[in-house]
Amino acid sequence: MALKGKDILSLREMNPEDIELILSTARSLKEILSRPIKKVPTLRGKVVCTLFYEPSTRTRTSFELAAKYMSADTVSIATATSSVKKGETLADTARNLEVMGIDVVVMRHSVSGACHFLAKVLDVPVINAGDGMHEHPTQGLLDIFTILEYKSKIRGLKVAILGDVLHSRVARSDIFGLTKMGAEVSVAGPNTLLPPEIEALGVKAYNRVEDAVEGADVIYVLRLQLERQTKSLFPSKREYHDFFGLDRKRLRYAKEDAIVMHPGPMNRGVEISTDVADSPRSVILDQVVSGVAVRMAALYLILGGRE
């Protein structure tokens, strides 16, 4: 079994069969994480390169551990200390890495579409680890994986995505992935943080958090991306929390067994209150575990022998 394309760039472009294949492979691979010695020889001799033009803890560590658990070697380029600082172009940096023998590039970049560009330049596969405000496909996959672990299905589930949809590549990947698999997705947030055409993606948009959360099976709280705000889109963090943050009171509108998700890093007391983030309904740390399993699956499937 193989994925259709060379790369993993977006969930918008990924067909449902490939999504299912990655998820079912991840389900099998997750067992490795519970072993005393977390190592299988599967990707011996392969080199995974992480090229991050933006800060990251979770995603980068998650990819590197996924590679190491499967015996691949990893190199990580932190752009702050690399020749990127001397003005080298993305294509040149990547081509140099490619001729040194790497087998896959995992890239995060602040420009939407940068990974698509790189995939055209390189022969080796590219995995998008977040490009600008566009997509973060492996996050979308790990979110779907986590929901499946709790709800055993996606079709027919009501998922409410709250907050900064405008700047969120996570929201976009989740919306594409979840709607493709038959979930009913709604979004809620202040108008300044909802893209005007958002309903064209097949979701319902609300300004009141309560309206989106009503009867939801899954509540997905997005991080307020303070670093991407170019103008003041809301008066203050405090006021944002009062009107749009997920707290215990708003959580009551959801189904009794609803789960609460967040891609991290959390702004506690802003988009989510601390008691909700730490409540038994929160599956935020499960998402992190799923992340390693899903990335192992992605690396395994994308690094198949190509004669």
Partner 1 sequence: MPLFDKAEIMDKDAIRRALVRIAHEIVEKNKGLDNVVMVGIRRRGVPLAQRLAKILGEIENKEVPVGELDITLYRDDLTMRFDQPHVGRTHLPFDVAKKKVILVDDVLYTGRTVRAALDAIVDLGRPECIQLAVLIDRGHREIPIRADYVGKNVPTSRKEVIHVRLTEVDGVEQVVISEEKDEE
Active site residues: 58-59, 86, 108, 136
Comparing CB distances to partner 1, the nearer of 31 and 242 is 31
Only one of the segments 145-153, 203-211, 246-254, 293-301 lies at the binding site for partner 1 (rule: CB under 8 A); that segment is 293-301
Asked whether position 306 contacts partner 1 by CB under 8 A, the answer is yes
Three-state secondary structure readout of the chain? CCCCCCCECCCCCCCHHHHHHHHHHHHHHHHHHHCCCCCCCCCCCCEEEEEECCCCCHHHHHHHHHHHHCCCEEEEEEHHHCHHHHCCCHHHHHHHHHHCCCCEEEEEECCCCHHHHHHHHCCCCEEEEEECCCECHHHHHHHHHHHHHHHCCCCCCEEEEECCCCCCHHHHHHHHHHHHCCCEEEEECCHHHCCCCHHHHCCEEECCHHHHHCCCCEEEECCCCHHHCCCCCCCCHHHHHHHHCECHHHHCCCCCCCEEECCCCCCECCCECHHHHCCCCECHHHHHHHHHHHHHHHHHHHCCCCC
Residues 44-103 that bind partner 1 (CB under 8 A): 45, 70
Interacting residue with partner 1 among 4, 35, 153, 252 (CB under 8 A): 35
Asked whether position 15 contacts partner 1 by CB under 8 A, the answer is no
Interacting residue with partner 1 among 8, 9, 19, 29 (CB under 8 A): 29
User: Shortest Cβ distance from residue 128 to partner 1 (Å)?
Assistant: 20
Asked whether position 290 contacts partner 1 by CB under 8 A, the answer is no
Interacting residue with partner 1 among 15, 28, 274, 279 (CB under 8 A): 28
Asked whether position 40 contacts partner 1 by CB under 8 A, the answer is yes
| Residues in contact with partner 1 by the rule CB under 8 A | 1-2, 24-25, 27-29, 31, 35-37, 39-42, 45, 70, 297, 300-301, 303-307
Give the annotated binding-site residues.
Answer: 58-59, 86, 108, 136, 139, 169, 223, 264-265
